[in-house]
Amino acid sequence: MKLSLVVPCYNEEQNVALFYRAATNVFDAEGYDYELVFVNDGSADNTLGELKKLHAESEHNIRIISFSRNFGKEAAMYAGIEHAKGELVCLIDADLQQRPEVVAYMVKRLDEVPELDCVAAYQHERRESGTLSFFKKSFYNLINSVSDTKFVQGASDFRTFRRSVAESVLSMGEYHRFSKGILSWVGFNTEYIPYDVQDRVAGESKWSFKKLFKYAIDGIIAFSTAPLAIPLVLGIALCAFSVIYLLATLFWCAVSYYTTFTIGLLLVFLVMLIGGLQLLGIGIVGKYIAKIYEQSKNRPIYIAKEIIEPKNEE
Ligand code: UDP
Ligand code: MG
């Protein structure tokens, strides 16, 4: 099978049939073998009923994975990739904000350029409020400054990749998933193409500002242990400052006729020094916790794209 479309669906009863029609129109015309992998993420509406109807009526390859409750889009994408059979896997939303025509173009690029492993779409123009846009931009700047993994501004989960990439994504078994980071972490050659986000066909976005904020924090924590190093930096700074304070006070007492070195001035120094040493201690513990945290995710130590064996072993 050439292509699997992985479609996470949460309360999309009005959209799944429309999505199905739009997708089949495009891919039937392309003429290749494909399947639609719908993941019903514990919808409270009749999404599952609509999907079963499509499954019963349609000649197309439709696979449905229905969750026991709402596990979130990340879990839905993971399940979809796990069950996808295609040589190429595409992550796409059910609300037609991302057009299947763009997927056909992604597939074309992957066919044309064998060295490419992934074609990802990024939002050409953000169609959202200035405030939200500002927060999203700030998030990308922040995460890029604290993480070794690179995050492309505006890049979404909307992308098509080869089986090798899909297998690598599945090999990252971490529970708190942040796909934008995972897809960047696994490496491979990725081409970014601009796309215009469409309006939602029906229903409304499941992402409130609060949910987005929590997701952003999850992303930073999943791909950076920099926050754990904050006490270490503050501790070093405070210890250094306390010593500067002591030297400056002693100097001032020596040169000034009116100031004497009192117990009060000494206490200020001691409070700063002890505070600094405590922060330093917490920071050192933080460094070890960071290592344990990284290890506990059990990420692969490396991902090989290709292994070429010696000629005489072939
Ligand atoms: N979605 C999901 N589980 C959730 C939230 C969303 O599977 O808990 C799906 C949703 O049905 C849609 C996609 O993820 O297909 C993107 O969601 P949405 O359109 O709400 O996000 P936005 O486009 O506003 O970023
Ligand atoms: Mg949407």
Question: The domain spanning residue 87 has which CATH number?
Answer: 3.90.550.10
CB of 206 within 6 A of ligand 1: the answer is yes
Can you give the residue range of the structural domain that contains 174?
3-206+300-313
Q: 64 pLDDT band (50/70/90 cuts)? A: very high
CA distances in angstroms from 116 to 27, 167, 192, 276, listed in the order given: 21, 16, 11, 51
Is 262 a residue whose pLDDT tops 70?
yes
Residues 234 and 307 in one domain: no
Residues 197 and 55 in one domain: yes
Residue 115 Cα to ligand 2 midpoint, Å, equals 31
- Residue 202, SS3? coil
Residue 163 Cα to ligand 2 midpoint, Å, equals 25
Cβ-based neighbour number of residue 124 at 10 Å: 12
Report the pLDDT averaged over residues 107-125: 92
Q: If you average pLDDT over every residue of the chain, what do you get?
A: 92
Residues 10 and 49 in one domain: yes
| Separation CA 79–CA 234 (nearest Å) | 42
CB 13 within 8 A of CB 50: yes
Is 278 a residue whose pLDDT tops 70?
yes
Residue 153 forms part of a structural domain: yes
Residues 198 and 232 in one domain: no
Residue 172 forms part of a structural domain: yes
Q: Domain tally for the chain?
A: 2
Encode 154-189: b = buried (16+ Cβ within 10 Å), e = exposed.
Answer: bbbbbbbbbbbbbebbeebeeeebbbbbbbbbbebe
CB of 197 within 6 A of ligand 1: the answer is no
Encode 85-108: b = buried (16+ Cβ within 10 Å), e = exposed.
Answer: ebebbbbbbbbbbbbbebbbbbbe
Q: Which of 91-95, 136-140, 236-240, 292-296 has the lowest mean pLDDT?
A: 136-140
Question: Which residue has the CA at smallest separation from atom 2 of ligand 1?
Answer: 73
Q: 75 pLDDT band (50/70/90 cuts)? A: very high
Cβ-based neighbour number of residue 36 at 10 Å: 26
- Provide the pLDDT for residue 314: 63
Residues 140 and 257 in one domain: no
Torsion of CA 267, 271, 272, 275, to 10 degrees: 170
Residues 201 and 230 in one domain: no
Q: What is the DSSP letter of 225?
A: -
Q: Which of 39, 73, 214, 215 to mutate to test the pocket of ligand 1 (most atoms within 8 A of CB)?
A: 73
CB of 94 within 6 A of ligand 1: the answer is yes
Residue 199 forms part of a structural domain: yes
Residue 211 forms part of a structural domain: no
More confident residue, 24 or 130: 24
Tens of pLDDT along 27-56? 999 888 999 999 999 999 999 999 999 999
Q: In this structure, which ligand is nearest to the CA of 92?
A: 1
Atom of ligand 1 nearest to the CA of 71: 8
CB of 41 within 6 A of ligand 1: the answer is yes
Atom of ligand 1 nearest to the CA of 11: 11
Report the pLDDT averaged over residues 278-290: 95
CB of 50 within 6 A of ligand 1: the answer is no
Please return the burial class of 242, using the count of CB atoms within 10 Å of its CB with bins 0-12, 13-18 and 19+: buried
Q: Which of 43, 47, 93 to mutate to test the pocket of ligand 1 (most atoms within 8 A of CB)?
A: 93
* Residue 75 dihedral angles phi and psi, to the nearest 5°: -65, -40
CB of 10 within 6 A of ligand 1: the answer is yes
Please enumerate in sequence order all residues whose Cβ is within 8 A of that of 281, keeping only pairs 6 or more positions apart, or say none: 235
Report the pLDDT averaged over residues 129-134: 82
Residues 165 and 263 in one domain: no
Residue 218 forms part of a structural domain: no
Token digits of residue 287: 């460094």
Is 128 a residue whose pLDDT tops 70?
yes
Residues 89 and 230 in one domain: no
Residues 256 and 309 in one domain: no
Residues 27 and 99 in one domain: yes
Tens of pLDDT along 156-185? 899 999 999 999 999 998 998 999 999 999
Q: 193 pLDDT band (50/70/90 cuts)? A: very high
Type of residue numbered 139 = F
Residues 89 and 149 in one domain: yes
Tens of pLDDT along 82-97? 999 999 999 999 999 9
What is the 3 state secondary structure string of 238-296?
HHHHHHHHHHHHHHHHHHCCCCCCCHHHHHHHHHHHHHHHHHHHHHHHHHHHHHHHHHH
Residues 264 and 127 in one domain: no
Residue 219 forms part of a structural domain: no
Question: Which residue has the CA at smallest separation from atom 12 of ligand 1?
Answer: 93
Q: Which of 59-68, 202-211, 217-226 has the lowest mean pLDDT?
A: 202-211
Q: Which of 5, 9, 10, 92 to mutate to test the pocket of ligand 1 (most atoms within 8 A of CB)?
A: 10
